[in-house]
Amino acid sequence: MKFSLEWLKHFLDTDASVAEIAAALNRIGHEVEGIEDPADKLAGFRVAKVLTAEKHPDADKLQVLSVDTGDGQPLQVVCGAPNARSGMKGVLGLPGAVVPANGMELRKSAIRGVESNGMMCSVRELELGDEHDGIIELPEDAPVGTSFADYSDASPVFDVAITPNRPDCMGVMGIARDLAAAGLGTFKPIEVPSIDGEGECPVEIRTDDPEGCPAFYGRVIRGVDNTRPSPGWMQRRLKAAGQRPISALVDCTNYLMLACGRPAHVYDVARLSGPVVARRAQDGETIEALNEKTYTLDDTMTVIADDAGVHDIGGIMGGEHSGATEGTTDVLLEIAYFDPERIGVTGRKLGLASDARTRFERGVDPAFLDDGLALLTDLIAQTCGGTPTEATRAGKPPVESMVVPFDPALTSRLGGVDVAEDEQRRILTELDFKVGPDWQVTCPPRRHDIEGPADLVEEVVRIYGLENVASVALPRADGVAQPTASPQQKLERKLRRAAAARGLNEAVTWSFLPTGDAEHFADGAQLWVLDNPISEDMKAMRPSLIPGLLAAAKRNADRGAPGTRLFEIGRRYFRGKDGASDEKPTLGVVLAGEKAPRGWAQGKASQFDAYDAKAEALALLEAVGAPVENLMVMGEAGDQFHPGQSATLRLGPKNALARFGALHPKTLKAFDVEGPVVAVEIFLDAIPAKKGEGTFARPSYTPPALQAITRDFAFLVPADLAAADLVRAVKGADKQAIVSARVFDVFAGQGVPEGKKSVAVETVLQPDEKSFTDEEIKAISDKVVAAAGKQGAELRG
């Protein structure tokens, strides 16, 4: 929210400097996001008088002016404005001044051979408006030589962030009240005029939707002149707030909203037909709003309509059809109270934001309808003339004041600061609370954020000064603190460290995805799709971590990164059978680009493959204590992965701990990523917990007393037999003696029968109490050969 110092002083009698006001605003909870002083931009510009204006000797559209700047020595200036003439007063930019509109620094120069010592400026060049057909013309009494910043009363502008719980400060008057309570001056309450209307309002007003629009007040003003511009002081304040002056009638409604936080609307009576009613919209009704867009409404929305149709999306935006024009002579003023929740729902459904919606959905002052109507009537009458009728009222606003029993000692207990009772009473009174002798505090209806005594403590401490709250350490109990991390948190910490130690870089991606990307990885599961997403491209909750990591890898590649190694620990989201959210803790890994750069030893750069993905999956599972030796490599990882280059790691046929492999070309095409790219997903909720987890007891490790021995076996196996199945069979042949087994050679070709391959397995045999005898080793070897035979393997001669 923006407002000028001049506007603030309309409601606050203060001598405080800009810096002091900014510090006070920050101190009481209204963060100052910026301060802009127009005087800084107007440095070097003066009020000047054109003494003579003669035709340029070398250009038809230029004139050579002699300009008095108040220094006693006229300056020669070349000007192309059609309205430049002898005797007029305007604004001269001297050499060294910077033109606000384009940042150009003025210099003494020759234009078509004639020296020019500055520039006579237009309204647009000084960013005072959009006019640029000629230079600024100042009144005859403008003092020549005066700084234009001083002459124009350029006032510093504050840009303040108002938190959603303080709609009472969405007007300059509310800001002034807070600053006065903080001791920065005296609050000047707005003077509400008494309006003596002539005759009854000729337009019937009613509300047929008391839930959406509890109260609807209005009156007609006859004989207005909307061709007049709004007063200079009003335009100046509106421009400071970032509002472009439109017409006198619209400027009056905008001024009331920004000054008092009270949105209002005017209708051209000539364009209305029958009673004006606040009602529910009908499904399919449409309206062309003032932003020149057409909106389709439904029966949950409150509108203002007449017999001809909808004229206003209640509390959000008026319609183009009944808006005031230059030819408008009779207007109907609308001051209404709309339900904040209904306004919020309607605005989100239509995707329509406005200043009025911002205020109504946060909650305007329900007790300000009569005063707001009187103020708006007076503004329009002074600006546009006209004769007002009597006010007409439909419905009743919710003006019941909340009474909160308050204990001043609560400020010390909750706020941590001792504030004298008299000071607490003063602060609350200055903020417009009524404090009874027994500390029964009556809240103004505009303060929707006050729900109990704790909120009053916040008000007192906020105004008294948060800097006065002493910094006190929290009490700490004696002894060793008990661990608070859950087993799941411990697992994720261990996994995060292990992934980083393996050279992977952690990424944190959005939990939301475009619907198409989410469906690509849904594998038939029911997605969570948001009704009110932050954007249409962030509508579905992710069913996999891979899409977000793919997008991150693509961004890195687009910026020239040769290779990417990313991991993320997060949640996947699904809709459960009963409609509840089902969250799955998961680790995702994406390896893309170059695995190793090109070099003299290996030649061209190497790429990641499915074996790299498998290695990462096994290493990370091992780091968190998963029984990797018992895992089975089974099946394909899903349609998103390349067939034959992907698999799952399972404990039994149904419990999948991870999936890994190269991503399918269609997946890479869908995400606009160049391959090959490999990925891993580890399903953390599927990892079985260790026995005894959560206790300090751990079995001690004693190295074996006897040396292990190795035995190699070469088998002829069917070409389609997975090596992991053969290794699992070998290890299971004698679980006590065989401590490990691994493949160290695979060969197919000359000397190997068609449809077969040779797989060599190294086994490690560990004796226990005594060394193995030859007979025992032979017995173990026979068990290995027999177990392998069940897999279709035969010992190679």
Q: What residue type is assigned to position 246 of the chain?
A: I
Q: Are 148 and 46 spatial neighbours (Cβ–Cβ below 8 Å)?
A: yes
CA distance 280 to 305: 9
Backbone angles phi, psi at 498, to 5 degrees: -65, -40
Phi and psi torsions of 299, nearest 5° = -80, 10
Q: Which residues pair with 331 in a beta bridge?
A: 221, 268
Helix (H) or strand (E) holding 317: strand 317-318
pLDDT digits (tens, 9 = 90+) for 722-761: 888 899 899 999 989 999 999 999 999 888 899 999 999 9
pLDDT > 90 in the chain, percent: 75
Tens of pLDDT, residues 201-215: 999 999 999 999 999
Domains of the chain, each with CATH number or no CATH:
2-37+156-187 (3.30.56.10), 40-151 (2.40.50.140), 205-395 (3.50.40.10), 403-467 (3.30.56.10), 487-597+604-686 (3.30.930.10), 709-795 (3.30.70.380)
Token pair listed for 337 = 């109270």
Which DSSP symbol is given to 105? B
Q: What is the pLDDT of residue 794?
A: 92
When pLDDT is cut at 50, 70 and 90, the band that residue 696 belongs to is very low
Residues at the binding site for Mg(2+) are 449, 455, 458-459
What is the pairing mode between strands 63-68 and 12-13? unpaired
Q: Give tens-digit pLDDT for 182-233.
A: 999 999 999 999 998 899 999 999 999 999 999 999 999 999 999 989 998 9
Containing H/E element for 647?
strand 641-651
Token pair of 226 as six digits: 């909307």
Give pLDDT tens digits for 538-579: 899 999 999 999 999 999 999 999 999 999 999 999 887 776
User: Residue 570: what residue type?
Assistant: G
pLDDT of residue 579: 66
3-class SS string, 238-298: HHHCCCCCCCHHHHHHHHHHHHHCCCCEEEEHHHCCCCEEEEECCCCCEEEECCCCEEECC
More confident residue, 770 or 481: 770
d(Cα 95, Cα 98) in Å, to the nearest integer?
Answer: 9
- Provide mean pLDDT across the span 151-178: 92
pLDDT score for 692: 53
| pLDDT mean across residues, the chain | 91
Query: Is residue 682 over pLDDT 60?
Result: yes
As a whole number of angstroms, the distance between CA 432 and CA 449 comes to: 14
Q: Which of 673, 654, 486 is nearest to 585 (CA)?
A: 486
Residue 677 and residue 662 in contact, taking contact as beta carbons nearer than 8 Å = yes
Inter-residue contact 516 to 539 (CB < 8 Å): no
Question: Cis omega before residue 229 (within 30°)?
Answer: no
Q: How far apart are CA 523 and CA 640, in angstroms?
A: 9
Q: Is the pLDDT of residue 694 over 70?
A: no
- Total residues found in the chain within this entry: 797
| Range 484-495 average pLDDT | 90
Residue 319, SS3 per DSSP: strand
Instruction: Note the pLDDT of residue 155.
Output: 86
Q: Quick one: pLDDT at residue 236?
A: 87
